[in-house]
Amino acid sequence: MTAHAAGASRSLFSVAGLTTRYGAIDAVRAVDLEVGQGEIVAVLGPNGAGKSTILHSIMGLVRPAAGTIVFDGRDITALDTEGTVRLGVGLVPERRRLFKNLSVRDNLRLGAAARRGRGDKAADEQLLFELFPILRERMDQLAGFLSGGEAQQLAIARAIMGAPRLLLLDEPSLGLAPILVEAVFNLIQGLRGRGYTILIVEQNAYQVLEFADRAYILRNGRIAMQGTAQELREEDSLFSAYLGLGGSQPACDTAGAPAPGR
């Protein structure tokens, strides 16, 4: 299995020996991961595996007990959330966390406050209208009245308006109907080749392995497997690694199992 960023892409972001605790619980244990410039890298795992905790540790929302987090050659382990955002790390949080009483336009404006002069704002607005045409129609609507799929689009669009150099996505498929999940994943794929570097955490393993470059499988806070998406798609033991079961593939309706949609 490939342990490092594929191809010749320069490492933009890495985590080494990350351990994060909540009281006596080790939610994340000795995790190493790397994201190359322009890559889409996934951290996949069932409920409670520690996926969000990795993202929260990166964003300075929770303090790691051990390990280092490096972004663009700089150690950001001890940096607070504001400092991390200022450097260009953008998070699309789980369950979106939109400003529901503000319009779509104002949510996007708030997202743009994180730009700090990076990138071309007009070009990013143009990209948003290309990728998310529905948001153009909804500009003056309150975010709280958007459908689940539209709200997820707005959450991603808001982060893009911050011109992130590294975009973190926390379970963007959560709570969405299957057809909307596919639409949101298509949008994420649409960011490929447009200069975005993406770290996505998801339960939806097989669908994400259709478009990610590489992935790490997280179980009980530890990396159980890693490789290119193609290697993992072809890996017979993915199900057992994912669920921590020995032997044969479990029933597909097991809670947290990767959707067998390939």
Applying CB under 6 A, the span of 44-52, 85-93, 151-159, 229-237 interacting with ligand ATP comes to 44-52
**Nearest-10 crossing angle of helices 178-190, 148-161:** 20
Shortest distance in whole angstroms from residue 123 CB to ligand ATP? 33
Q: Which stretch binds ligand ATP (CB under 6 A): 49-57, 84-92, 145-153, 230-238?
A: 49-57
Measured distance CA(186)–CA(169) in Å, rounded: 14
Closest to ligand ATP by CB, 51 vs 165, is 51
Selection from 34, 25, 78, 79 nearest residue 53 by Cα: 25
* 64 near ligand ATP, judged by CB under 6 A: no
Q: Which stretch binds ligand ATP (CB under 6 A): 42-50, 108-116, 137-145, 156-164?
A: 42-50
| In contact, 31 and 18? CB cutoff 8 Å | yes
Cβ partners under 8 Å of residue 6, min gap 6: 36, 39, 213, 214, 228
- The answer to whether residue 49 forms part of the interface with ligand ATP (CB under 6 A) is yes
Beta strands in the chain (DSSP E): 11-22, 25-36, 40-44, 66-71, 74-75, 89-92, 166-170, 198-202, 214-219, 222-228
* Contact flag: residue 158 with ligand ATP (CB under 6 A): no
Q: Least distance to ligand ATP from the beta carbon of 43, Å?
A: 8
Minimum Å gap between C-beta 22 and ligand ATP is: 3
Separation CA 22–CA 93 (nearest Å): 19
- Written as one letter, the residue type at 179 is I
User: Binding mask 164-183 vs ligand ATP (x if CB under 6 A, - otherwise)?
Assistant: -------x------------
| Contact between 93 and ligand ATP per CB under 6 A | no
For residue 35, state whether it binds ligand ATP (rule: CB under 6 A): no
CB of 127 to ligand ATP, least distance (A): 29
Give the nearest distance from C-beta 124 to ligand ATP in angstroms.
Answer: 29
Find tokens 């700089």 and name the residue. Answer: 74
If the CB atoms of residues 198 and 218 are measured against ligand ATP, the closer one turns out to be 218
User: Under the criterion CB under 6 A, does residue 261 sit at the interface with ligand ATP?
Assistant: no
48 contributes a contact to ligand ATP by CB under 6 A? yes
Q: Which residues from 198-217 bind ligand ATP, rule CB under 6 A?
A: 203
**Binding segment for ligand ATP among 4-12, 22-30, 64-72, 96-104 (CB under 6 A)?**
22-30
Q: Please check whether residue 68 is in contact with residue 17, taking contact to mean a CB–CB distance below 8 angstroms.
A: yes
Rule CB under 6 A: say whether 101 interacts with ligand ATP: no
Q: How many CB atoms lie within 10 A of CB 1?
A: 10
CB of 106 to ligand ATP, least distance (A): 28
8-state DSSP, 113:
T
* Cβ neighbours for 163, distance < 8 A, ≥ 6 positions apart: 88, 114, 115, 118, 119, 121, 124
State how far the Cα of 156 lies from the Cα of 184, in Å rounded to an integer: 9
Interface residues with ligand ATP (CB under 6 A) are 22, 25, 27, 45, 47-53, 171, 203
